[in-house]
Structure 1
Amino acid sequence: MSTFQRLFKQTFIYGLATVLPRMLNFFLIPLYTSPGVLNSVAEYGKVSVIFAWFVIFNVILAYGMETAFFRFFNKEKNQDEVIGTSTISLGISSFAFFGIALLLQDQIALLTDIKVEYIKLVIWILLLDALVILPFAWLRATEKSMTYAIIKIINVSISLGLNLFFLLWLPKLALNHTVFESLYIENYQINYIFIANVVASGVTLLLLLSFYLKVKYQFNADLWKRMMRYAFPVLIAGIAFSVNETFDRILLGKLLPENIADTQIGMYSACYKLALFMTLFATAYRLGIEPFFFSHAKTENPQKSYAKILEFFVTIGSLILLGVIVFADILKVLIIRSEAYWEAMTIVPIILLAYLFLGMYHNLSVWYKITDRTKFGAYISVFGAVVTLVLNFWLIPIISYRGSAIATLAAYGSMVVLSYYFGRKYYPIPYNIKKISAYIFISVLFSILSFYFFRENYVVGIGLLLVYMLIIYKFEKDEILSLLKS
């Protein structure tokens, strides 16, 4: 099996691990946005804000150790020592956070403007999720992608099942059965959502518990210091990324008038989910290529492979961009069940393009990861976060959530440019910029025509999609046939 076939096999399985769980999770969007499940669009907005804080604290609790683990697992001779040192470090930090957070839950609630009853559940979820970071990283590093996929699917299946039970079935069962009546609490929907997450995360940890039983608990202080030096810039980059991805919901809540903020966040968050198709592809690709980057860094002329990988990503990603935009108004009916959310559909093309750029950035970031210049990842991500914050503060009071969408696109676009610029200086990779730019330009042009000039005209939209597919086939025919060969 060739290098690229192996990479795409891994990416496909990680895609399975990413796409299937999130497709199961996709059912939660129609559930949450169906009339009568949550009390209002504003309530969905509150849930979205809490999940925004989730992303930020998940990054803090991982503090770059996952990426450091990949680097040192492939670099050090004593892999058991890398596993042991990483596991002890994350275990101590996770339980320390758990204890401190429980003690300060009232202050955290005041700071984040989230009810204490939600904060307690969030703290448990964060602990359980932190404890599976290393087991999942180990599965990826050892190419146990199928096990990774199965456990991820089980996690989301439990979450989905419990959400359906608590939000749809329990209220009906409580009317007729005394046992269920004792379980049902009126206006407890948000609590039920997070209880489902606690149970799913707990079961996931149990499934991965064998990892902790096999670890040789040896801690190397010198190795840990080197890992932390590598990981710290990754942490800064991760925090900056979380600002880019989720802080707009928090800022919308702070900068918009109180009487409309939660409703605007709810609409924005629901329509944002239509970019999920691009997010799934970019995430699956990143999960597949990150171990590949490190394991092939010492092969002959790895730069040529890295260049081709970006071409593949842009080719498929630009096709997804156009495809989702052509069928956006069909997808909104299937996924976002209430018309009360559809006002924010204007953000969909912007967010899709933003996530195409984010996926490109993950591909371009290879140069600073394999040359141990992770500080550049921090610099670039912080720059993106500054762009996000400045544009959000400027545009939200003027054009509400549309400003947040523009800020996301500007942040990820600027990060692509900066990473490419510095990469040429420190680790030149022969990217085919003309071909990549042409694919993006044609995809964006056709998307603009479809969404803004021929919206819901599927003769024109599908025609543009077919023309673009023919263009790709003409120029990528040999590569496609090569990848399809066993």
Structure 2
Amino acid sequence: MLEKLAKQTAIYGISTILGRMLSYLLTPFYTRIFGVESYGIITDVYALIPFALVVLTMGMESSYFRFAAKAEAEGGDIEKSKRKLFATTWGITSLAAVLFFVVVVLFRNEVSALMGEAYVANPLYVVTVAAIVMADVTMCLPFSRLREQGRALTFVSLKLLNILLQVGMAVAFWGVGLFDTEFGVGWAFVANLVASMVTLVAVVVASGRVSLRIDWALLLVIFGYSLPLLLSGVAGTAGEFLDRQLIKYLVPTESMAQLGIYGAITKIAVVLTLFTQMYRLAAEPFFLANYRKEEFVAMNAAALKYYIMVSMALFLGIALYRDAFALIVGRSFREGIDILPVVLGANVLSGVWLNLSFWYKREEKTQFALWVTLAGVAASAGFGLLLIPQLGYYGAAWSRFAAEVVMVAISIVLNRIYYPTPYAFGRMAEYVVLALALFFVAECVEVESVVLRYTLSTVMLVIYLVYAVWREKIDVKSFVKHILRRG
């Protein structure tokens, strides 16, 4: 079964990497077109959009996977049950999305004032962003249906379409000089909106015709499962964007400039972010669909071990070469590159917490998700209030890292008490300690030559990879042959 998970991860991963690489081309593109303050607006908006998506989707994605698996287990007319489930979950999220858009349009001036001085002069910024949110929320459940049906290639093709359209529109707008107009950075949001609307139409067609008829009795049952997920999702996403909002409101001078630098540097962690994302896309429906399998505990433990092994290799591969990765962003953004290892560490911990969350979703103890994420928000806010006024975006990076540490620690304790899983903590600690030791050795050795410095970094990375291959007894030759044969 782990091979099935690996295959799904690879399918989602290849497309996600290709798509996100295209998307992340917008980072060097925008950081060279816009100044740090204008890019701060982009950072601010794209930190808030995921929060809106979590609120408006109401935990329906995980609920759809869970109740679809239940329909299969219970038998009967499975397809009819799934259609009713999809119509209900899609209907309620679409309704919420439309209502959200209408409210923002009606109160656009008030919303602009709440978001800050940079938005007051252009209320159309918030209207455009609200339209993006409406489209993205409406397409969430159709995309979830594709994942539940195992239609990974269709899923990733449509995701790629979305990203290609957005990048293409951005380049076209730049080519005709729209970014130099008064609306300026707003055209970046228009490019996103066009891509989202086209993708919405495409995914609705691809997912199959289903009437948006809400079964209110079924919805009440679903809400019993999804409400804790919604609350935990709100808290978790708030924790993820809280660092950016605290920069905006706590940094005494040039807050939007610092926000722009922080946002640009976090984008450099693209490879590790992609790995965590593609793992989530494959693992969530995989583990929830197989909730009755006796092997769940063993698979979950093994998956976390291999996640740590790979993610720490990616950590080294980016952190050791961060001077080269800094070239991705414009020159005025590179002063913040030293926060990159901290951001990478937080991303690793985010994936660990994801893996630790599957057991309580499986057991329908989703209230634990709320407890854990609220603790994370409290940690992020506490450390942010303490560190950001003095350290700026450095404090934001460390506050996010601290929040992830708190969430992982609490999740481990809850797991040991309520659902003991034989996680290989010793083996995972080996990978973490070795990676950090190699990183600090490379940092402490002073080498003036760029060539020698990169040679040292490469030696450190190779040591880690060789150790991991030896420790897991991986037959590299057979593994490569297996991959080539499957390809």
Please tell me the TM-score bracket, short chain as reference: over 0.9
* Cα shift at 1:213: 5.4
Task: Show the counterpart of 2:470.
Answer: 474
CA distance in 2, matches of 1:184, 1:290: 39
- Select 1:272's aligned residue among 259, 266, 274: 266
| Counterpart check, 1:111 vs 2:114 | yes
Q: Deviations 1:216-247 (Å, cap 9, x if unpaired)?
A: 55533232112112111111221222222222
Task: Show the counterpart of 1:145.
Answer: 152
SS of equivalent to 1:347: helix
* Cα shift at 1:123: 1.1
- Select 1:353's aligned residue among 345, 354, 358: 345
CA distance in 2, matches of 1:390, 1:10: 38
CA distance in 2, matches of 1:351, 1:164: 29
Task: Show the counterpart of 1:175.
Answer: none
Q: Report matched runs for 1:190-205 at 5 Å.
A: 190-205=185-200
Q: Deviations 1:98-136 (Å, cap 9, x if unpaired)?
A: 222211212111111233120110111111101100000
* Cα shift at 1:281: 0.3
Please identify, of 441-450 and 213-222, the stretch whose mean Cα deviation from structure 2 is larger. 213-222
**Equivalent residues of 2:145, 2:207 under 8 A apart:** no
SS of equivalent to 1:405: helix
Q: Deviations 1:286-313 (Å, cap 9, x if unpaired)?
A: 1111111112221123211111111110
Equivalent residues, number? 466
Task: Show the counterpart of 1:125.
Answer: 132
**Equivalent residues of 1:367, 1:426 under 8 A apart:** no
Q: Report matched runs for 1:65-464 at 5 Å.
A: 65-76=60-71, 77=74, 78-113=81-116, 114-115=119-120, 116-167=123-174, 169-171=175-177, 186-210=181-205, 214-258=209-253, 260-333=254-327, 335-338=328-331, 340-451=332-443, 453-454=445-446, 457-464=453-460
Task: Show the counterpart of 1:9.
Answer: 7
SS of equivalent to 1:376: helix
- 2:431 maps to a residue whose letter is Y
Please identify, of 276-285 and 211-220, the stretch whose mean Cα deviation from structure 2 is larger. 211-220
5+ residue gaps, structure 1, are 172-182
SS of equivalent to 1:387: helix
CA distance in 2, matches of 1:279, 1:75: 31
- 1:440 maps to a residue whose letter is V
- 1:100 maps to a residue whose letter is V
CA distance in 1, matches of 2:282, 2:476: 19
| Counterpart check, 1:45 vs 2:40 | yes
**Equivalent residues of 1:33, 1:336 under 8 A apart:** yes
* Cα shift at 1:157: 0.5
Shift in alpha-carbon separation, 1:424–1:124, aligned structure 2, 3 A: same
CA distance in 2, matches of 1:184, 1:348: 29
SS of equivalent to 2:472: helix
CA distance in 2, matches of 1:93, 1:69: 17
Task: Show the counterpart of 2:78.
Answer: none
Q: Deviations 1:73-97 (Å, cap 9, x if unpaired)?
A: 1112422221121122112212122
SS of equivalent to 2:102: helix
CA distance in 1, matches of 2:115, 2:205: 36
- 1:164 maps to a residue whose letter is V
CA distance in 2, matches of 1:220, 1:329: 55
- 2:315 maps to a residue whose letter is L
SS of equivalent to 2:291: coil
CA distance in 2, matches of 1:291, 1:480: 29
SS of equivalent to 1:365: helix
CA distance in 2, matches of 1:370, 1:482: 35
- 2:89 maps to a residue whose letter is S
RMSD: 1.8
Percent of paired sites with the same residue: 29
5+ residue gaps, structure 2, are 75-80
**Equivalent residues of 1:325, 1:451 under 8 A apart:** no
Q: Deviations 1:125-164 (Å, cap 9, x if unpaired)?
A: 1111011000000011111111111100110111001111
Shift in alpha-carbon separation, 1:70–1:393, aligned structure 2, 3 A: same
CA distance in 2, matches of 1:357, 1:185: 40
**Equivalent residues of 1:17, 1:148 under 8 A apart:** no
CA distance in 2, matches of 1:166, 1:52: 23
